[in-house]
């Protein structure tokens, strides 16, 4: 979606976190994509990340995280986001393991431990390495972020998710994330997902140019 197409749909207040004097908040929740850019060790290892259109992902977000931490901001992660993060990096690690064991193999979309074992033989020791990679990154996230348990729902989860889903152009996972944010009363969201700009009543801290340009056109850029 272009900024022009997104602009009429923007309902959030959008903060361009890549701007030098972008506003800070007392507390934030982070989305899975932020964790992936900043806390999946292998992502920030890729040599060409400093170039190209996605370079901002590993520059703007960590820079803003540092500013927020220096200012005393508390940065939280919900259990749903953390589980999604771990699942994605597990999938990437399994695919990398498979590519390492069989360089000629065709890439697959989804890798599961049983599939690696079935196709590659008994390589449990290598699967232990995958788990170690994932668990090490879980430990780092646990040490650096406030882990929020499931919130004390006052209405059934399904109703809450439905409410948030119906208010914005987001998928079910995002709707559950926003429902968690409301339950915790933390509506400052750090994310690279432009679709979250369609969520009313949140402040979206992003460096996504589509989101910031759309918000500027809509008069919703902080």
Partner 1 sequence: MAGADMVIRVAEESGIHCVSPDDGQRLFDRLHEALRVGKSVELDFAGVETVGPVFLNVAIGKLFGQSDAHVIEALLHWKNVTEVSERLLYLVIKNAKAHYQLSPEARVREGEIVRRALDSL
For partner 1, the binding residues (CB under 8 A) are 32-33, 36-48, 50, 58-59, 62-63, 65-66, 69-70, 84, 88-89, 91-92, 95-96, 99, 103, 107, 109, 133, 136-137, 139-140, 142-144, 193
CB of 100 to partner 1, least distance (A): 8
For residues 210 and 7, the answer to whether their CB atoms sit within 8 Å is no
CB of 155 to partner 1, least distance (A): 28
Whose Cβ is closer to partner 1: residue 104's or residue 124's? 104
Q: How many CA atoms lie within 13 A of 68 on its CB side?
A: 27
Whose Cβ is closer to partner 1: residue 62's or residue 151's? 62
Closest CA to 137 of 82, 213, 219: 82
Measured CA to CA, the distance from residue 201 to residue 204 in angstroms comes to: 10
Closest CA to 149 of 202, 81, 90, 68: 81
Whose Cβ is closer to partner 1: residue 59's or residue 162's? 59
Measured CA to CA, the distance from residue 84 to residue 77 in angstroms comes to: 11
CB of 31 to partner 1, least distance (A): 8
Those residues with Cβ within 8 angstroms of residue 135's Cβ, 6 or more apart along the chain or in another chain: none
CB of 65 to partner 1, least distance (A): 5
CB of 154 to partner 1, least distance (A): 29
**Start-to-end CA span in the chain (Å):** 21
Q: Identify the residue whose tokens are 């506003």.
A: 23
Whose Cβ is closer to partner 1: residue 4's or residue 171's? 171
Whose Cβ is closer to partner 1: residue 96's or residue 117's? 96
Whose Cβ is closer to partner 1: residue 8's or residue 87's? 87
CB of 69 to partner 1, least distance (A): 4
Burial of 49 (0-12, 13-18, 19+ CB in 10 A): middle
How many angstroms separate the Cα of 103 from the Cα of each of 99, 100, 120? Answer: 5, 6, 12
């Amino acid at each position: 979606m272009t900024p022009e197409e997104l602009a009429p749909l923007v309902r959030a207040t959008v903060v361009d976190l890549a701007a030098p004097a972008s506003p800070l908040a007392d507390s934030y929740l982070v989305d899975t994509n932020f964790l992936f850019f900043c806390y999946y060790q292998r992502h920030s290892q890729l040599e060409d990340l400093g170039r190209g259109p996605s370079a901002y992902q590993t520059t703007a977000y960590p820079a803003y995280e540092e500013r927020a931490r220096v200012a005393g901001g508390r940065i939280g992660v919900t259990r749903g986001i953390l589980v999604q993060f771990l699942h994605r990096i597990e999938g990437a690690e399994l695919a990398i393991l498979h590519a390492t064991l069989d360089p000629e193999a065709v890439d697959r979309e989804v890798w599961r431990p049983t599939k690696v074992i079935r196709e590659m033989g008994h390589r449990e020791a290598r699967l232990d390495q995958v788990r170690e990679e994932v668990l090490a990154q879980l430990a780092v996230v646990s040490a650096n972020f406030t882990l929020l348990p499931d919130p004390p729902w006052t209405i059934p989860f399904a109703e809450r998710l439905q409410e948030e889903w119906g208010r914005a152009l987001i998928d079910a996972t995002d709707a559950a994330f926003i429902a968690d944010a409301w339950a915790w009363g933390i509506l400052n969201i750090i994310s690279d997902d432009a679709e979250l700009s369609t969520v009313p009543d949140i402040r979206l801290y992003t460096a996504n140019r589509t989101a910031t340009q759309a918000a500027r056109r809509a008069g919703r850029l902080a």
